[in-house]
Amino acid sequence: MDLSSKIQNVKFENLFLNASGIHCQTKEELDDLMNNSYSGGMVTKSATSNHRFGNPLPRYHSLPSGSINSMGLPNEGFDFYLDYVTRTEQKKPIILSVAGMSKEEDLELLHQIQDSDYQGLTELNLSCPNVIGKPQMAYDFQGSDIMLNEIFKFFKKPLGIKLPPYFDLVHFDKIASILNQYPLSHVNTINSIGNGMWVDIESEKVVLKPKGGFGGIGGAMALPTALANVRALRQRLNSSIDIIGTGGVTTGRDAFAHILCGANMVSIGTQVYEEGLGAFERITSELKEIMNSKGYHSLDDFRGKLKTIED
Ligand code: RRO
């Protein structure tokens, strides 16, 4: 059974990745991911120029069908991640994720990558929902267009972007028509569903301290939104732009659904956080079993081949 996949010319032995932010902040966590043979690649925690502690605790809460988080971009600082991706022996491809606190910082981080020895994939996170004063850039269509225009004047290495979920077909049309103007390596869809809320009935309180309890929703609850975003973007984006499907994957069936919708790679957040890295092995074997029962040998046999209901 062949679970290999590609983003541009980068080959991954297996389609599974951690979602950025999950088990990928410290050297120890990154090394764990590098040594896990059931994930085909890894994504680093989105980096800002300087180290950040992030938001005050509690900032992550498990829910009956997922999670809510307001981490606030805790990370070791860009130099640490650039050093890691350029110096570590790479047993699998790495995607270097960056998320400046402003457009100027995003441009500065990308200039540093352009000027470095790093030749791998980079992902610009335009969708962090949890930092006060930093809007989710990809909801500002015109601002995203202007920014990508500036970026691709100097950035010549493979670059993808992490998108927030969209909820209206007109918005899919709009973002796709903007993204199609640029030589993006990939889009990663979706980030967590921003600014949800959970209420603890006993204490009559919110469950997260930052932002009065508002936080990004992930896990099983996000699956239908994630599938819709993968599908809608695959139907609209140039075929040269690959898709990482992220959101709501807890089983091999969920991964299979992402691929049917058109995902080239599948990344897993909440479930890896809750279950540990063993989730990759379990979900891989579940996906293989489904493929086997259907007589599929590779992801190309069914990728993007979702059927609709005709009369
Ligand atoms: O660190 C976070 O609060 C965070 C980020 Br940068 C992101 O992109 N998505 C998310 O759910 N949390």
The ligand 1 atom nearest the CA atom of 218: 11
Q: Do the Cβ atoms of 217 and 67 come closer than 8 Å?
A: yes
CA distance 237 to 233: 6
Nearest to 21 by CA among 260, 240, 267, 253: 267
Assess whether 128 carries a catalytic annotation.
Answer: yes
CA distance 258 to 32: 25
Interval between CA 157 and ligand 1 midpoint (Å) = 24
- Asked if residue 19 has its Cβ within 6 Å of ligand 1, the reply is no
Q: Whole-structure pTM over 0.85, yes or no?
A: yes
Interval between CA 71 and ligand 1 midpoint (Å) = 6
Strand-pair category, 121-125 with 94-98: parallel
Token pair listed for 144? 């995203």
- Asked if residue 207 has its Cβ within 6 Å of ligand 1, the reply is no
Interval between CA 21 and ligand 1 midpoint (Å) = 7
Token pair listed for 49? 């120029």
Strand-pair category, 193-196 with 215-218: antiparallel
- Give, for all 311 residues of the chain, the pLDDT tens digit: 999 999 999 999 999 999 999 999 999 999 999 999 999 999 999 999 999 999 999 999 999 999 999 999 999 999 999 999 999 999 999 999 999 999 999 999 999 999 999 999 999 999 999 998 888 999 999 999 999 999 999 999 999 999 999 999 999 999 999 999 999 999 999 999 999 999 999 999 999 999 999 999 999 999 999 999 999 999 999 999 999 999 999 999 999 999 999 999 999 999 999 999 999 999 999 999 999 999 999 999 999 999 999 98
Residue nearest (by alpha carbon) to ligand 1 atom 8: 128
Per-residue b or e along 166-198, where b marks 16 or more CB atoms closer than 10 Å to that residue's CB? beeeeebebbbebbeebebbbbbbbbbbbbbeb
